[in-house]
């Protein structure tokens, strides 16, 4: 087989891309209008963005324009990933040694003329200690191309499988069970009270609605049972419709076991927050606290998958939460405290159980601790302060 000659800069670029993609979990970014450069992204890496450029930079003016272009693309990525701060590593493979790189906020630019420069660079070795020994080596250009292509394709296939395991449609079971329980309980209460369109407060209390006097007397089960009861047919229809849309998505994304935990914790935290503000003679019920908890779950999940879901978070999830909270504050008879309590509880519960392939063990520990403290604080207010 004959040797294939490739330019030195191309060889360095391919070696770097191979390392960052296969060893550091960076993913290529599709940036329109660029040539002879590759952009990589890892939201959890020491540098959020890595740009490797073969473009020739001869003087200061070219370098300033190059940095301007980098800043512009960074701004777009920052907006897309819902990030407050983005730092970038700018690796230039063809830049005049006389060009002053300067000190630019959030952009670290380094010159690389050869593989030796990579091994000698303190900033690179500090951020990526294993780079020197992990850079791919090849006997000729064809070997390098084949090895890099095969390894990156294999890595891409693994990442695609992880993505599909999360987003591929699955059989929805738990959500349907919750829908059935809510509907069955409403029908039973309707026939018991003699009015299928509106349930009397006494009937709600009998079947487990939330009430601070009853909860403080030992009927703690009401913190959970109240999330499966509804006061009227409109209340039921609205919540069940929302449940079908939101809960089915959450169950599909995080799995059945985690979904059950998040739903129950959201319901309990919503009920506790409700008791903090409700009067002694008021009974409250409804799945809306748990539903808001599922929206909190989507916020946490979406943040970890913001590369794919940033538009949905910005244009759908956040506006829905804001609109519903606004309606709750502007209209009487809506338990907004339950909504807020459930929202916070759902977010923390999701943090506690973690997101597959995204959350670290420390993230889950932190989430569990904060969730426990949150529930203990609300419980203290309900049982010892009110």
Whether 50 and 118 map to the same domain: the answer is yes
Is residue 3 in some structural domain?
Answer: no
| 85 SS3 class | coil
Mean pLDDT, to the nearest integer, of 382-386?
91
Query: Mean pLDDT over residues 341-345, rounded?
Result: 98
Count: domains in the chain: 2
Question: What integer pLDDT is reported at residue 141 of this predicted model?
Answer: 67
**pTM of the complete model:** 0.84
Q: What is the pLDDT of residues 344-359, one digit of tens each?
A: 999 999 999 999 988 9
> At which of 137, 167, 197 does a domain end?
167
How far CA 193 is from CA of 184, 186, 225, 226, in Å, comes to: 14, 10, 18, 17
Helices (H), the chain: 8-22, 60-80, 115-120, 122-127, 131-134, 141-167, 174-193, 201-207, 212-216, 222-225, 233-254, 256-277, 288-304, 306-312, 318-330, 336-353, 361-380
Residue 307 has a pLDDT of 76
221 with 107, same domain? no
Confidence of residue 1 (pLDDT cuts 50, 70, 90): very low
Q: In sequence order, what are the residues at sequence separation of 6 or more whose Cβ sits closer than 8 angstroms to the Cβ of residue 240?
A: 179, 182, 183, 287
The answer on 267 and 144 residing in a single domain is: no
* 191 and 291 within one domain: yes
Residues 158 and 197 in one domain: no
Domain span at 140: 8-167
Banded model confidence at residue 5, pLDDT cuts 50, 70, 90: low
89 pLDDT higher than 50: yes
For the annotated catalytic residues, the residue numbers are 288, 339
Residue 384 has pLDDT above 50, yes or no: yes
Instruction: Identify whether the C-beta of residue 15 lies closer than 8 Å to the C-beta of residue 54.
Output: no
Report the alpha-carbon distance of residue 90 to residue 52 in Å, rounded: 6
Of the candidate ranges 231-240, 269-278, 322-331, the one whose mean pLDDT is the lowest: 322-331
Query: Tell me: the pLDDT tens digits for 290-335?
Result: 999 999 999 999 988 887 787 888 888 889 889 888 888 888 788 9
**1 belongs to a structural domain:** no
Average pLDDT over every residue of 25-44: 85
Over residues 249-273, mean pLDDT: 97
Residue at a domain's end among 128, 152, 167: 167
Please tell me whether residues 43 and 153 are part of one structural domain.
Answer: yes
Residue that is last in its domain, among 108, 142, 167? 167
**241 within a domain of the structure (yes/no):** yes
Mean pLDDT within 84-103 = 90
- Tell whether 204 and 131 lie within a shared domain: no
151 and 31, same structural domain? yes
Distance, CA of 290 to CA of 169 (rounded, Å): 23
Regarding whether 323 and 188 lie in a shared domain, the answer is yes
Contact criterion met (CB below 8 Å) for 275 and 212: yes
In a domain, 362, yes or no: yes
pLDDT confidence of residue 186: 98
Going by C-alpha positions, the residue among 188, 158, 178 that lies closest to residue 224 is: 178
Instruction: At 1, list the tokens.
Output: 């087989």
Q: Is residue 233 part of a domain?
A: yes
Q: Is beta strand 27-29 parallel, antiparallel or unpaired with respect to 37-41?
A: antiparallel
| 16 and 48 assigned to the same domain | yes
Tens-place pLDDT, residues 133-154 = 888 875 566 777 788 888 888 8
349 domain-assigned: yes
Those residues with Cβ within 8 angstroms of residue 375's Cβ, 6 or more apart along the chain or in another chain: 265, 268, 269, 272, 345
- Which percentage of the chain shows pLDDT scores above 70? 98
Report the alpha-carbon angle 329-331-336, nearest 5.
45
Same domain, 324 and 178: yes
Report the CATH number at residue 304. 1.20.1540.10
- Both 87 and 195 in a single domain? no
Is residue 187 in a domain?
A: yes
Over 60: is that where the pLDDT of 3 sits? Answer: no
Question: Could you give the 3-state DSSP secondary structure of residue 211?
Answer: coil
Mean pLDDT, all residues of the chain: 90
């Amino acid at each position: 087989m004959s040797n294939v000659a490739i330019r030195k800069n191309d060889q360095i670029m391919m070696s770097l891309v191979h390392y960052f993609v296969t060893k550091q979990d960076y993913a290529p970014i599709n940036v329109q209008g660029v040539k002879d450069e590759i952009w990589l992204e890892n939201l959890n890496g020491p540098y959020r963005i890595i740009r490797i450029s073969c473009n020739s930079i001869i003087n200061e003016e070219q370098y300033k324009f190059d940095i301007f272009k980098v800043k512009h693309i960074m701004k777009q990525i920052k907006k897309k990933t819902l990030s407050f701060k983005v730092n970038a590593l700018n690796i230039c493979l063809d830049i005049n040694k006389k060009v002053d790189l300067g000190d630019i906020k959030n952009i670290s630019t380094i010159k690389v003329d050869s593989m030796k420069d990579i091994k000698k660079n303190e900033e690179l070795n500090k951020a990526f200690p294993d780079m020197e020994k992990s850079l791919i080596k090849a006997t000729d250009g064809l070997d390098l191309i084949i090895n890099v292509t095969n390894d990156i394709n294999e890595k891409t296939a693994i990442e695609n499988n992880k993505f599909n395991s999360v987003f591929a449609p699955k059989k929805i079971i738990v959500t349907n069970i919750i829908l059935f329980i809510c509907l069955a309980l409403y029908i039973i209460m309707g026939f018991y009270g003699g009015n299928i369109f509106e349930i009397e407060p006494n009937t709600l209390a009998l079947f487990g609605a939330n009430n601070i006097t009853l909860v403080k007397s030992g009927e703690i089960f009401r913190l959970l049972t109240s999330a499966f009861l509804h006061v009227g047919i409109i209340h039921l229809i609205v919540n069940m419709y929302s449940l079908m849309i939101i809960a089915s998505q959450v169950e599909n994304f995080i799995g059945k076991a985690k979904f059950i935990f998040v739903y129950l914790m959201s319901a309990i935290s919503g009920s506790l927050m409700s008791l903090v503000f409700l009067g002694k003679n008021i009974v409250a019920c409804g799945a809306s606290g748990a539903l808001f908890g599922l929206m909190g779950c989507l916020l946490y999940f979406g943040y970890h998958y913001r590369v794919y879901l940033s538009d949905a978070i910005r244009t759908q999830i956040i506006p829905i939460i804001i609109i519903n909270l606004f309606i709750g504050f502007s209209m009487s008879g809506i338990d907004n405290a339950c909504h807020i309590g459930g929202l916070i509880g759902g977010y923390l519960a999701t943090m506690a159980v973690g997101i597959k392939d995204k959350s670290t063990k420390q993230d889950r520990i932190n989430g569990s601790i904060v969730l426990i403290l949150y529930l203990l604080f609300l419980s203290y207010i309900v049982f010892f302060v009110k």
